[in-house]
A and B are shown apart, each in its own frame.
Chain A
C-alpha cells in the first residue's frame, strides 16, 4: 500500500514496537475523533490526534515522525481519559516524540532546544537554574528578546536567583547521565 505522493510504504515493525510501549493495538481506534475534539493544542497540530492514530494504523512511520503535532502535544492526557477505546494517546504522543528525536526528525527546533537546555541544566547542577535557563535558551535560539517583557518585572519580585543551586549529589546525577549513555551505546 502506498499513500499518494508518499515514497515510503508500510512499516509494520515500527508500529509493533510502538504498540508494545503503549500496551494497545492501534487497530482498536475507530477514528471517532473524541481525542481530537477537546485537545487544547490541536489548533497548532499538522495532524490531529486521531490522524496520528490513523497514520499509525497505515504504518506510515515517516509521516508520523515528521509530524509537528508530537512537538506541540502538552501531554495533558485529555485525549487519554476521553478515548472510548482506552487508548493512551498522550503516552503514544510522547513515545513517538522520543522516537522522532532519536531518528533525527525535529519539527520545532525551538522546542527541542528548550527541552535540551532544560535537561542540560539538570545535568549540570542537579536542579534547574531558571535565570540561566532562559538566558541560555535565548542565546542559543537567537531569540534574544523572548519573554523580555516580563523579565524586569520578574526581577523586581526577587524570586529569581542569579546563581545556580548546585546540589551535593551532582556527581551522582552526572553518573546517571553517563551510565545511561554508555548503556545506550552498548545496545546499539
Chain B
C-alpha cells in the first residue's frame, strides 16, 4: 500500500539543501511513499515573516495549505521550520474561527481546514513500518557511529512536534536503528544551532556550532545526522568558519537522515549528492560491498 502526501519542499530544498530534497525523494520512493509536489507553492516565510508580522506568516502558510487541500492530500514538509509554520498556522485556524476568517480574507482561494501537516521525520517515524526499513537495507551502516541531532525545531514546541517527547526525542534513532548504524548518545541533540542568524550575526551561530561540534567529537561520532537544512548548513558550511575562529580542527560530516537511509538502501553517494557537502563523508560503510552490490 502506498502512502501519498502533498509535498512541500520549501525554499531551502530548492537551493542550499537540494541534497535533502533529492535524498528525500529517493528514500520515499523506496519506502512506497508517493510525493505530489504542491504546484506553485510559495515560501512559508520561515522565521522572519512571523517575527515581522504574525498574520503575514499565517497567510503565507494558508495559501499552501489551500493548494494542498484541492488535492485532498495531507501535507508533508522535510524542513522543520516550514513544518512548524504550516502546522502552527493550520492549528490556529482550526482552533479559532475568527482567525480563519481573517486569514481567508487575505487569500484568493480560501482554506477549509481540510488537511493535516506532518514533518518528514514524523512520516518516517509514524507511517513507515520499521520492518519495511529493515527490508530495504542493502548495505548496513555497520561500524558507523552516528550522533542524531534534532536541533530545536524537530523537537519543539511540544504542540507542533506532538509525536515525540520534546526533551528527549528518539524518532531519528529509531529510524536509523534498522540501518545497522551505531547510535551514540548525543547529549546536545535538541540544543539550538543558532538557526537563521547566519545571515546577520554569524558570530552567534559559530559559538553554538562550536559547542555542538565539540560534543560530537567528545562522544566519538563519525557523522552527525540531521533533519533540518539550517542545522546542516550551520554545522557543515560553517565548520571551517568555526575552525578558523576557535582554532579547532573539526572534520565531522553532517548528513541528512535521508542521505544515511539512501546509503543503506544502496544508493550511490553521487545519487545522494554527498559530494556537495563541505566536509566530505569519506567513511562510506561497506564501500567495497557497495561496488559489488551495485554490480549485482
Contacts and interface: CB of A to CB of B under 8 A. Distances in A.
In-complex A–B contact (CB below 8 Å): yes
Interface of A: 40-41, 43-44, 72, 74-78, 80-81, 88, 90, 94, 97-98, 101, 108, 110-111, 113-116, 118-119, 121-122, 126-128, 130-131, 133-134, 137, 141, 146-147, 149-150, 153-154, 157-161, 165, 167-169, 172-173, 175-177, 179-180, 183
Contact of A130 (B16, B41, B200, B240): B16
Contacts, number: 172
Contacts of B11: 127-128, 130
Contacts of A118: 46, 48-49, 199
A90 B166 CA distance: 15
Interface size class of B (residues with CB under 8 A): 35 or more
Given A175-B108, A180-B106, A108 B156 contact: no
20 contacts: A40-B208, A77-B157, A78-B190, A88-B157, A113-B200, A116-B52, A118-B46, A119-B49, A122-B60, A130-B15, A134-B199, A150-B278, A157-B276, A158-B276, A159-B18, A160-B16, A173-B63, A176-B106, A180-B56, A183-B106
Contacts of A172: 42, 63, 107-109
B276 A76 contact: no
A77 B53 contact: no
B6 interface: no
Contacts of A114: 48, 196, 199-200
Nearest to A39: B192
Main SS of the interface on chain A?
helix
Nearest to B62: A176
Given A40-B192, A176-B63, A159 B49 contact: no
Interface of B: 11-12, 14-19, 40-43, 45-56, 59-60, 63, 105-109, 152-153, 156-158, 166-167, 190-192, 194-202, 204, 207-208, 237-238, 240-241, 244, 276, 278
